Structure 1
Amino acid sequence: MQLLIDADACPVVDLALFVSSQYEIKPILFCDTSHRIERDNIITIIVDKGPDSVDFKLLSVLKKGDIVITGDYGLAAMCLAKGGKVLTHNGKELTSDNIDQLLAFRYESAKIRRAGGRTKGPKKRTEENNLAFEMEFRQICERAVLDREER
């Protein structure tokens, strides 16, 4: 089991690395050449800059049961289809029960922007966001460790 982090613009990289070490889950960071997010003793996969290049590389490494941290709903949907567990950097677990609604919202927002309209951006990150992420991530790690032990 691995932790795969879509590290481009991920505000919880260090927190996720800290928590994953407590559960002995191997982390891998994915970023493109314009972000280059690297940490000591952590595998970092750097890909050429390009649309979805990080996403496709992460998907090629993903195995059933791996945990993925991403804010990209399109990538999340593909990870879920491959049997991954997906969490956003705000601590929301993405599942087959909620991903379709999130993708539809993303599509409608993009349609508004293409037509010249404006949509709200994300709210400023707070310490409560970090706590929510940590609590949910720990729960996912605990479930994943139990699943691993049952095999």
Structure 2
Amino acid sequence: MIFIDADACPVTDIVIDVASIQNKQVRLVKSYAHFSHKRYPEFVKEIYVDSASEAADYRIMSLIQKGDVLVTQDYGLASLALTKEAKVIHPSGNHYSTETINRLLESRYLNQQLRKSGAKTKGPRAFTERDRAHFKAQFQALF
């Protein structure tokens, strides 16, 4: 099973394309604030949650199992999914691991502290076609 933290995922279409080839089920977990009438293939199911903070994360964690795949930008969610022995990948194509997650969480914490003190930090750069191609190659390597 493949889960996507889907509220702002720039690679949903790539995941669905690869999943169709790999014969995998996909679950798009997103808040009602991101409701869509878009039609997906039969193997893709949308799971809607309320707009409360971390509602999608809680739903994903209640469903994900060992060996499942999760696509997320959320380091906290990635950390939790790793404890369930899921494979976790960022839309940039970087694989989360138990070896790297603590450094990522620490970096996130330090940036939050900087912002709280009034400092400006850079946001993510624009997502490019090169980024999409890199993600696709890294995602396909999971199977």
TM-score by length of 1: 0.90
CA distance in 2, matches of 1:39, 1:133: 23
| Alpha-carbon distance, 1:97 to partner | 0.9
CA distance in 1, matches of 2:136, 2:14: 7
Q: How does 1:119-130 map to 2 (within 5 A)?
A: 119-130=121-132
CA distance in 1, matches of 2:39, 2:140: 21
* Residues 20-62 of structure 1: per-residue CA shift (max 9 Å, x gap): 1111111000000111255423210000111000000001000
Q: How many residues align?
A: 140
Instruction: Note the residue ranges of structure 1 that are not aligned, 5 or more in a row.
Output: 143-151
% of aligned pairs identical? 34
Q: In the alignment, is residue 107 of structure 1 matched against residue 109 of structure 2?
A: yes
Per the alignment, residue 77 of structure 1 pairs with 79
CA distance in 2, matches of 1:87, 1:70: 6
Q: Which runs of 4+ in 1 moved over 6 A?
A: none
Per the alignment, residue 98 of structure 1 pairs with 100
| Alpha-carbon distance, 1:116 to partner | 1.1
Per the alignment, residue 15 of structure 1 pairs with 14
Root-mean-square deviation (CA), in Å?
0.9
